[in-house]
């Protein structure tokens, strides 16, 4: 099959635009949409130091590569990758290695931080001790550590690898749960003291395009799933969106655009609250003690209870 834009062989059929694209035109189109997302929400501004949340998974590896390719030559910008090692045996070590390899090849500064060093235990240990779901611990502590590390490294933005599929699933999930307050948290935030602004440069590209872009650039992509990954409701929404998109191409963009049209109302309904500093660790929190300190306290208490029993 030929490319719809030139005589070269097509490598990808883009359903939402009904075009076959060759390697060159696919890459151009992908990068154009990344730049569009970046411009639309001022994700990258003059003199920014961008921290990239690099787990070593396919999305974050592609994100690091494409940001380096598109903006790496700008002298006023600076990039640093942060890998959080949660301590998930068998799953995380290979992706940490991938993150090391990728940053070395890109010549990008790279910092690895671990749950064990910062919280005194790995995620595997937390799961054994606590009564919460693995993703609860993982999500709260990872967010905390990423923000703290990014701030200590002097970052002005924190870029994550969320793609169009991730973003539209979250939008729809919040609608289905009637959780409009949580939906409002997806609205790009204003700068707050201590909180590094999070940006999602891949929000305009489909997950499968992220994979194709990565493969076309010979990036080391891994498709392993976290052993704790269990999201039945999200999986149902993902499958629904996939089928709907398959039948009616471009509908994920419709979901995203509808959400964007709601941004002014969401901002008015849920104005961003003034964050305070956690009484224990000083990290930003809506009030009192932050979620990470509360969880850590619970985990320590259950550890002490267990050692008293022995
Ligand atoms: Fe963490 Fe859950 Fe993701 Fe695994 S699936 S990396 S435990 S958030």
Mutation to probe ligand 1, out of 85, 119, 127, 134 (largest number of atoms < 8 A from CB)? 134
Ligand 1 contacts CB of residue 234 (under 6 A): no
Ligand 1 contacts CB of residue 139 (under 6 A): yes
- Region 71-81 average pLDDT: 97
User: pLDDT band for position 46 (50/70/90)?
Assistant: very high
Instruction: Give the residues across from 83 on adjacent strands.
Output: 112
User: pLDDT band for position 192 (50/70/90)?
Assistant: confident
- Region 64-75 average pLDDT: 97
Give Rg (Cα) of the chain: 20
The yes-or-no verdict on residue 303 having pLDDT over 90 is no
The yes-or-no verdict on residue 306 having pLDDT over 80 is no
The yes-or-no verdict on residue 307 having pLDDT over 80 is no
Apex 239 CA angle, 260 and 56, nearest 5 = 75
Given this model, what pLDDT does residue 92 score? 97
| DSSP labels, 131-170 | SS-HHHHHHHHHHHHHHHHHHHTT-SEEE----HHHHHHH
Residue located via tokens 């359903």: 15
Q: Is 72 exposed, middle or buried (0-12, 13-18, 19+ CB in 10 A)?
A: middle
Mean pLDDT lowest for which of 23-27, 71-75, 146-150, 184-188? 184-188
Which residue owns the Cα nearest ligand 1 atom 5? 229
Helical (H) or strand (E) element with 22: strand 19-22
Residue located via tokens 């905390």: 144
Mutation to probe ligand 1, out of 223, 229, 232, 234 (largest number of atoms < 8 A from CB)? 229
Q: How far is CA 118 from CA 4, 142, 291, in A?
A: 52, 11, 15
Given this model, what pLDDT does residue 106 score? 98
φ, ψ for residue 275, nearest 5 deg: -80, 150
Mean pLDDT lowest for which of 44-48, 94-98, 250-254, 306-310? 306-310
pLDDT digits (tens, 9 = 90+) for 112-147: 999 999 999 999 999 999 999 999 999 999 999 999
Collapse the DSSP code of 11 into the 3-class scheme (helix H, G, I; strand E, B; otherwise coil) and give the result. strand
Task: Name the nearest CA neighbour of 243 among 165, 171, 173.
Answer: 165
Tokens of 299: 């985990």
Ligand 1 contacts CB of residue 228 (under 6 A): yes
Q: What is the mean pLDDT of the chain?
A: 95
φ, ψ for residue 64, nearest 5 deg: -60, -45
Ligand 1 contacts CB of residue 127 (under 6 A): no
pLDDT digits (tens, 9 = 90+) for 200-251: 999 999 999 999 999 999 999 999 999 999 888 999 999 999 999 999 999 9
Please, which residues have CB within 8 angstroms of residue 211's CB and are 6 or more apart in sequence? Answer: 58, 62, 221
Please, which residues have CB within 8 angstroms of residue 151's CB and are 6 or more apart in sequence? Answer: 194, 196
Ligand 1 contacts CB of residue 242 (under 6 A): no
- Region 252-256 average pLDDT: 98
User: pLDDT band for position 268 (50/70/90)?
Assistant: very high
User: pLDDT band for position 273 (50/70/90)?
Assistant: confident
The yes-or-no verdict on residue 310 having pLDDT over 70 is no
In whole angstroms, what is the distance from residue 135 CA to residue 275 CA?
A: 24
Dihedral sign (CA 274, 51, 299, 185): positive
The yes-or-no verdict on residue 260 having pLDDT over 80 is yes
């Amino acid at each position: 099959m030929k490319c719809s834009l030139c005589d070269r062989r097509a490598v990808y059929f883009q359903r939402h635009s009904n075009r076959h694209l060759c390697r060159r035109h696919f890459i151009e189109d992908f990068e154009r949409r990344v730049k569009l997302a970046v411009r639309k929400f001022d994700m990258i501004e003059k003199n920014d130091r961008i921290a990239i949340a690099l787990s070593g998974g396919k999305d974050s590896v592609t994100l690091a590569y494409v940001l380096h390719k598109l903006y790496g030559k700008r002298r006023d910008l600076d990039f640093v990758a942060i890998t959080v090692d949660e301590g998930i045996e068998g799953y995380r070590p290979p992706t940490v290695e991938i993150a090391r390899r990728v940053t070395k090849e890109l010549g990008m500064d790279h910092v690895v931080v671990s749950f064990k060093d910062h919280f005194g235990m790995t995620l595997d240990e937390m799961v054994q001790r606590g009564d919460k779901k693995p993703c609860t611990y993982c999500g709260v502590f990872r967010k905390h550590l990423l923000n703290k590390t990014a701030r200590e490294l002097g970052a002005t933005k924190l870029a994550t690898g969320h793609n169009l599929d991730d973003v539209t699933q979250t939008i729809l999930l919040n609608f289905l749960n009637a959780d409009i307050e949580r939906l409002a948290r997806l609205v790009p935030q204003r700068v707050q003291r201590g909180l590094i602004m999070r940006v999602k440069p891949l929000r305009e590209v489909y997950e499968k395009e992220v994979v194709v872009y990565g493969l076309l650039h010979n990036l080391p992509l891994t498709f392993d799933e976290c052993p704790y990954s269990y999201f039945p409701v999200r999986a149902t929404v993902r499958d629904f969106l996939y089928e709907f998109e398959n039948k009616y191409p471009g509908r994920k963009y419709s979901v995203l655009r509808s959400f964007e049209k709601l941004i002014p109302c969401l901002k008015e309904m849920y104005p961003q609250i003034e964050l305070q500093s956690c009484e224990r660790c000083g990290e930003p929190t809506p009030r009192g003690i932050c979620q990470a300190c509360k969880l850590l306290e619970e985990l320590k208490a259950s550890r002490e209870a267990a050692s008293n029993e022995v």
